[in-house]
Amino acid sequence: MAEPFVSKTFPVKPKLKPKPRTPSKTPESKYWSSFKTHPVDNLAFSVPSLAFSPSPPHPFAAAHSASLSLFSPNTLSRTHTISSFSDVVSSVSFRSDGSLLAASDLSGLIQVFDVRTRTPLRRLKSHVRPVRFVQYPVLDKLHLVSGGDDGLVKYWDVAGESVVSELRGHKDYVRCGDCSPADANCFVTGSYDHVVKLWDVRVGDGNRAVTEVNHGKPVQDVIFLPSGSLVATAGGNSVKIWDLIAGGKMVYSMESHNKTVTSICVGRMGTQSGEEAMQLRILSVGLDGYMKVFDYSRMKVTHSMRFPAPLLSIGFSPDCNVRAIGTSNGIMYVGKRKGKENVESGANAILGWGNVEEPQRRVLKPSFHRYFHRGQSEKPSQGDYLVMRPKKVKLAEHDKLLKKFRHKNALISVLGGNDPEKVVAVMEELVARRALLKCVLNLDRDELGLLLMFLLKNSTMPRYSSLLMGLAKKVIDLRLEDIRACDALKGHIRNLKRSVDEEIRIQEGLQEIQGMVSPLLRIAGRR
């Protein structure tokens, strides 16, 4: 009678929680990651310009195609659209009180709108080529600055719809500009001639700038930093900071992007007014899809974020709650801070610049129950001994075959490549194992032809000739019958003999030259 089947159970080792691969975030990374991104994908065209209103609640405007859209900072939804443009809108700027909005297009026209009613109030027409930027001065409500593909920079009287000054210093397209936060009469412009110029409208000569710096690449964007003495420029894959008071001296060059940097702006961490100067960061975006956060007080990139499209523009709200990024495929990524800040309780103290301290964690002691359930993600303490896992060495195909003692397959595998050093190394290993001649005997005609082709190409090279010439003789002796029976193999042998004869002829010629030169060198040495 058959014995009944008895099932057996075996203990299963529980799976340990894997160690997280991503490093722990710093408080600053947590701050910038707290902007929850909401894609706005109904714009249909690229977004070359973004601007936030300086007045609360800080709505923002985005230029796309021949339209200008206004968005609410609370709901992040589109509230109004201005479509009174005949060409693609290239730039947008709010006045310092937030009540007026200026926008330029590629037809050369600049229009000024009432933000509340969206009514066009002024039409400024003087540029004969597309206008690439328009900017309201920070400390002036009556004038505008513009620049375009005609290489001209114009300073406008908005009320009179007239040009006050026409500046002609650039030699190529003027692409960007910014107004000084410290002086209403000063502004900078950047051009595709690689030059950034500082202008003062009080200087009478319109062809001469106060100061100029050379970025080294076509300038895509330029901004004043809040102090008014430093300027940041973007062009190529770099963002450079210049000191205007020192005569245009370059302070630092940040080259963290892989492709062209298209737009930069200033962002501030938190809202504590006493620490504003130490919380400022430069935000840059580029065609590589990355947004970089640069702390220019420590000259260090503190955060990086990747987006799935080339980025063209970036804006940051004055209250530090909304960040907007425009792309080339018509999608705008708007990020809003999660939660609310408690300034009175000092919750933002960890967001300042300098030595950032993380909140202290409770130390686990052996008297706690959780102490005995620590996982692999637990960080070691100072006195712990770390046992590092050895890195696994990735072997090539011929090395794997040699470990399995499949000598012939290893030789054929390496002969199929284009690296003679690896082939000679495998042959030397087979000589050490006394298996090379056995491999030669076991080759079929196609594999033998592959070996003869290798000998034909490399046997006359001085580095390998000592091994390969001897191997060629052995191959002919061992496989003579097969060579005689195959026309292709006989052709390889003829070519090999021709190559060897040519090498011998060259060596004999070199010996003759050496014999003629050596006596002359000896005579010259005696003198």
Q: For 61-112, write each residue's pLDDT tens digit.
A: 999 988 999 999 888 888 989 988 889 999 999 998 899 999 999 999 999 9
| Percentage of the chain lying above the pLDDT 90 cut | 34
Q: How confident is the model at residue 527 (pLDDT cuts 50, 70, 90)?
A: low
Q: How far is 184 from 275, CA to CA, in rounded Å?
A: 25
β-pair type (153-157, 162-167): antiparallel
Q: Is the CB of residue 161 less than 8 Å from the CB of residue 123? A: yes
- What are the tokens at 23? 């490093």
Q: How far is 244 from 137, CA to CA, in rounded Å?
A: 18
Q: Which residues contact 45 (CB under 8 A, 6 or more apart)?
A: 64, 65, 88, 330
Q: Position 304: which residue type?
A: S
DSSP letter at 259 equals S
Q: How confident is the model at residue 191 (pLDDT cuts 50, 70, 90)?
A: very high
Q: How confident is the model at residue 319 (pLDDT cuts 50, 70, 90)?
A: confident
The CA-based angle 372-375-381, given to 5 degrees, is 80
- 3-class SS at 46? coil
**Phi, then psi, of 48 in degrees rounded to 5:** -80, -15
Q: How confident is the model at residue 348 (pLDDT cuts 50, 70, 90)?
A: very low
Q: Is the predicted pLDDT of residue 271 greater than 80, yes or no?
A: no
Give the residue from 324, 322, 282, 321 showing the smallest Cα distance to 304.
Answer: 282
Q: How confident is the model at residue 292 (pLDDT cuts 50, 70, 90)?
A: very high
Residue 373 or residue 166, greater confidence: 166
Q: Which residues contact 5 (CB under 8 A, 6 or more apart)?
A: none
Helix axes 407-415, 420-432, angle to 10 degrees: 160
The CA-based angle 73-75-81, given to 5 degrees, is 75
The beta strands (E) that lie in 158-307 are given as: 162-167, 174-179, 186-191, 195-200, 211-214, 219-224, 230-235, 238-243, 249-254, 261-268, 280-286, 290-295, 300-306
Q: How confident is the model at residue 133 (pLDDT cuts 50, 70, 90)?
A: very high
Q: Is the predicted pLDDT of residue 369 greater than 80, yes or no?
A: no
Q: How far is 154 from 168, CA to CA, in rounded Å?
A: 9
Q: State the pLDDT at residue 346.
A: 38
Kindly list the strands in the beta sheet with 300-306, ordered across the sheet, starting from the edge strand earlier in the chain.
261-268, 280-286, 290-295, 300-306
Q: State the pLDDT at residue 376.
A: 61
Q: State the pLDDT at residue 493.
A: 87
Mean pLDDT of 424-444: 90
Q: Is the predicted pLDDT of residue 465 greater than 60, yes or no?
A: yes
> Can you name the residues that pair with 313 across neighbouring β-strands?
326
Q: How confident is the model at residue 149 (pLDDT cuts 50, 70, 90)?
A: very high
Mean pLDDT of 381-396: 80
Q: Is the predicted pLDDT of residue 32 greater than 90, yes or no?
A: no
- The average confidence (pLDDT) of the chain is 84
Q: Is the predicted pLDDT of residue 304 greater than 60, yes or no?
A: yes
Give the residue from 181, 175, 306 showing the smallest Cα distance to 233.
Answer: 175
Mean pLDDT of 213-227: 92
Print burial letters for 233-268: b (CB count within 10 Å at least 16), e (below 16): bbbbbbbbbbebeeebeeeeebebbeebbbbbbbbb
Q: Which residues contact 284 (CB under 8 A, 6 or more apart)?
A: 234, 239, 254, 257, 261, 263, 264, 291, 292, 294, 314
Give the residue from 215, 100, 199, 90 showing the smallest Cα distance to 158.
Answer: 100
Mean pLDDT of 144-149: 93
- 3-state helix, strand, coil split of the chain in percent (to 5) is 25, 30, 45
